[in-house]
Amino acid sequence: MSKNRMGFIGRAFAVLGAATAAAAAVEGNRRPRERDLRTLGIDPANFPDTRRG
**pLDDT of the chain, 53 residues: tens digit per residue:** 677 777 999 999 999 999 999 999 999 999 999 999 999 999 999 998 766 55
pTM of the model: 0.80
Largest CA distance in the chain: 48
Residue 53 lies in a domain: no
Q: Report the amino acid identity of residue 43.
A: D
| Structural domain boundaries, residue 29 | 3-46
**26 inside domain:** yes
CA distances from 35 to 4, 21, 31, 50 (A): 23, 10, 11, 17
Answer yes or no: is 52 within a domain.
no
Domain count, the chain: 1
Closest CA to 26 of 16, 35, 37, 11: 37
